[in-house]
A and B are shown apart, each in its own frame.
Chain A
Amino acid sequence: MALLTVIGRGVRVRGRIQGEGDLTIEGHVEGEISVSGALTVDPAGLVGANINARVIVVRGAVRGDLTADDVVRLEEGARVVGDVHAPRIAIAKGALVRGLVQTGAAGTTASRGKTQEKAVPAARPASPPASAARRPVAAAPPVAPKPAAAPAARPAPSAAPQTKPAARLAPPSVLAGTAPATAKTPPPPVVPALKKGAKAALKKKAT
């Protein structure tokens, strides 16, 4: 009993609560909470604070980050908006959570989480361009040989639909140079691959 602290239902605390021992919150607390023991937020409790404790048990409402050295337990009726870091985390059925939930040693997870958050966005932008760059290389060769066969294949409608998706996949870099040409001719994939002068040659043949 000596080190037990209770913030009762009719009590509102604005500021910082810190120290040793266990803390039970049935009232309102706004600010910051840091205790060495267990912190319990009762169903009637309303907390708008970042919480640091060894054990955190939530049955009420918390807006703020929860960081525990041992375990965080979100029980039925818990409403948490904020990040949760602890070596062990339990979320019961009926508990609501919105935020980043991460298990791992409390001290290291904070830094790990940050580095991961930084690393992931960095990696994501890097990889899509790489794959995008690969795709056109792979897509271009199939398109290139077709024009030779295309004049003969024109009557067959199936050839055009097949080539269309290829053209869509082909990134702007491929279309950019030949965009006006594709716009002029209805079967778009046939034209871009034509060499300069090839059109003239075809016209000559036609005439």
Chain B
Amino acid sequence: MASTVIGAGITIEGEISADEELVVQGTVRGKVDAREGVTIEAGATVEADITAGPLTVAGSVIGNISSTDRVDLQAGGRVIGNVKATRITIADGAQFKGNVDMDV
């Protein structure tokens, strides 16, 4: 289990910087700056620019995403914003609106 979890009932407004795995089940508004993996679970809402390692999105993200590793947009996930990553997957059933930049 990841050592940091933003639970389903919780709203964070502001800036989060993490040096470890981060799991979001609740709501985050502001900015997320992580060096390790970030997981945005189904039901979670993130209205923030995200910098992260490997990123998994099953919830909703409104904001730009920048990953040093891969971004997985899973079925049921929703992203509105630009994505910059080395690899990216968008599953069938995911919603996505934005630019993709893959450092080709």
- A residues in contact (CB < 8 Å) with B: 2-23, 26-27, 31, 35-36
Q: Evaluate contact between B16 and A21: CB separation under 8 angstroms.
A: no
- How far apart sit A11 and B15, CA to CA, in the bound complex (Å)? 10
Chain B residue numbers with a CB within 8 Å of A4 are: 5, 7
What are 10 A-B pairs with beta-carbon distances under 8 A? A2-B8, A4-B5, A5-B9, A11-B16, A12-B18, A13-B17, A15-B13, A16-B13, A18-B10, A19-B11
Report if A5-B10 is in contact (Cβ < 8 Å); known contacts: A10-B3, A11-B4, A27-B4: yes
Contact stretch, chosen from B19-27, B63-71, B87-95: B19-27
Chain B residue numbers with a CB within 8 Å of A26 are: 3
- B residues in contact (CB < 8 Å) with A: 2-22, 25-27, 30, 36
Given A5-B5, A7-B4, A20-B9; 8 other pairs, CB 8 A cutoff: A2-B8, A5-B9, A6-B4, A10-B20, A11-B4, A19-B11, A21-B7, A36-B9
Max chain B Cβ within 10 angstroms of own Cβ: one of A8, A9, A27:
A8
Q: Evaluate contact between A5 and B7: CB separation under 8 angstroms.
A: yes
Question: How near does chain B come to A125, taking the closest CB pair, in angstroms?
Answer: 44
Q: Evaluate contact between B11 and A17: CB separation under 8 angstroms.
A: yes
A2 closest partner in B (C-beta): B8
Q: Evaluate contact between A6 and B3: CB separation under 8 angstroms.
A: yes
Question: How near does chain B come to A81, taking the closest CB pair, in angstroms?
Answer: 22
Question: How near does chain A come to B5, taking the closest CB pair, in angstroms?
Answer: 5
- How far apart sit A70 and B63, CA to CA, in the bound complex (Å)? 39
Question: How near does chain A come to B56, taking the closest CB pair, in angstroms?
Answer: 18
- How far apart sit A26 and B12, CA to CA, in the bound complex (Å)? 16
Chain B residue numbers with a CB within 8 Å of A19 are: 7, 9-11, 26-27
Q: Evaluate contact between A16 and B12: CB separation under 8 angstroms.
A: yes
B7 closest partner in A (C-beta): A5
- How far apart sit A20 and B36, CA to CA, in the bound complex (Å)? 26
Question: How near does chain A come to B8, taking the closest CB pair, in angstroms?
Answer: 6
Report if A3-B9 is in contact (Cβ < 8 Å); known contacts: A9-B3, A11-B22, A27-B4: yes
A27 closest partner in B (C-beta): B4
Chain B residue numbers with a CB within 8 Å of A5 are: 5-7, 9-10, 26
